[in-house]
Amino acid sequence: MMWTKYYTNQIELAKHVSKSLPINTKLVINDHPVQWGARDWGFYSELINTYNIEVMHVDVDTRKIIQNVEIVFTITSSAGLEALIYDTPVVTIGRPKYAPFYANFDFVNNVKNPYEISESLNTATNSSTDYDQLSAYIAAILEIGSSPSSPRHNKNFLEQIEMYLR
Amino acid sequence: MLKFLQARIKFVEKLFEDNKFEFVFSYMAQMAPSMIVYEFCNRESIPFFRPHHSRIKDLRIVYDNIYEYSDIVWERANEILANKSASESFDQATKFIQDVQNGDDLYYTNRNRASSTVLDKLYHAAEIFWWEKGGITTQYYYDTPKIKYLQKRFKKSMGKNC
């Protein structure tokens, strides 16, 4: 949430997105697994009661959702990177272009305020992943080192640390 | 408690002696191992990155140029893109993307208990029930007396002024 301090009210943001969608389109929300149980049930019930919003259970595979939706809206989630790998258009909300990670790609659409969400739908549906750029970005992370949101090559590193710390 | 700390500090100390780190990226800055690493970084003046969080006041950032890591990554990414045929990492990354497209996990989250042993599945199910019941709350541990106490113990155990 570092880059999106104006979008910390996620219910309002979800409603903004849902109102920007065409009338026959649904907004499917997949909350972060860590948040499951941490939030009050009222959070989810308010979302579910919105006419075109569906909330997925924590155990639903994110990849199946990504592969069956037209656009992925995300604030700062790594699901955006996963969507790019599956060539699903991504719209990031509130992230300036100078932000790190995948928001810097030309083929990632960035929305700076809620009024731009509906406009972004058209541009997003026409955009597709440039796999050369994506590969170069992942290659750079593999070479330089990992951030907390880095791909799974962290596994060995973490296992080594855990082994030593036990 | 002291043995718990000593074991960890000994490992980190050896790690810092054997290697020369240009910067350190903490996976979970609020956990004890990261806190120890932070103290070493602070002592050696090594940039310490940690996941950003805007809700809490983080007193333990010694290196706050949040764009530098990003700049380094993008600079290297552009170099690789310009010379992709000579880059092994590019091929590795391409294979990684293909693996993910074929069903591999994008991240190692250590949260895949549902697909492990029967006992893990049961534990996972119980955990889900517990979560859904509302048994877990979000807590942040910074600035609590416990953390301040632990920080003092780190410094004392290290025997140096950090």
Over the stretch B36-85, which tens digit does the pLDDT of each residue have?
887 788 788 887 776 544 333 444 444 445 555 667 778 888 999 999 88
Instruction: Give the A window 11-70 contacts with B, CB below 8 Å.
Output: 33, 36-38, 40-41, 58-59, 63
pLDDT given for residue B147 in this prediction:
66
Chain A residues whose beta carbon lies within 8 Å of the beta carbon of residue B13:
none
Chain A residues whose beta carbon lies within 8 Å of the beta carbon of residue B133:
37
Contacts of B26 (CB under 8 A, 6+ apart): A148, B34, B37, B38, B48, B49, B50, B51
pLDDT given for residue A21 in this prediction:
92
pLDDT given for residue B38 in this prediction:
78
DSSP A59: T
Assess B56–A contact: CB distance below 8 Å, yes or no.
no
Q: Residue B73 and residue A138: Cβ atoms within 8 Å?
A: no
Q: Name the band, by pLDDT with cuts 50, 70 and 90, for residue B6.
A: low
Residues in chain A: 166
Q: In chain B, where are the structural domains located? A: 1-90+142-162, 99-137
SS3 at position A134:
helix
Q: Name the band, by pLDDT with cuts 50, 70 and 90, for residue A82.
A: confident
pLDDT given for residue A72 in this prediction:
93
- At residue A18, does pLDDT exceed 90? yes
Higher pLDDT, B37 or B118: B37
Residue B38 CB neighbours (<10 A)? 23
SS3 at position B45:
coil
Q: Name the band, by pLDDT with cuts 50, 70 and 90, for residue A142.
A: confident
Q: Which of B9, B64, B90 to mutate: most A Cβ within 10 Å? A: B90
Start-to-end Cα distance in chain B: 20
DSSP A24: T
Residue B25 CB neighbours (<10 A)? 20
Q: Compute the nearest-CA separation of A164 from chain B (Å).
A: 7
pLDDT given for residue A164 in this prediction:
47
Nearest CB to A155: which of B70, B108, B137? B108
Identity of the amino acid at B32: A
Higher pLDDT, A97 or A148: A97
Looking at A80-89, A140-149, B61-70, B136-145, which range is the least confident one?
B136-145
Q: What ipTM is given for this predicted complex? A: 0.73
Chain A residues whose beta carbon lies within 8 Å of the beta carbon of residue B114:
59
Assess A135–B contact: CB distance below 8 Å, yes or no.
yes
Beta strands of chain A (E only): which ranges? Answer: 27-29, 53-55, 72-74, 90-93, 109-111
Chain-wide mean pLDDT for chain A?
Answer: 79
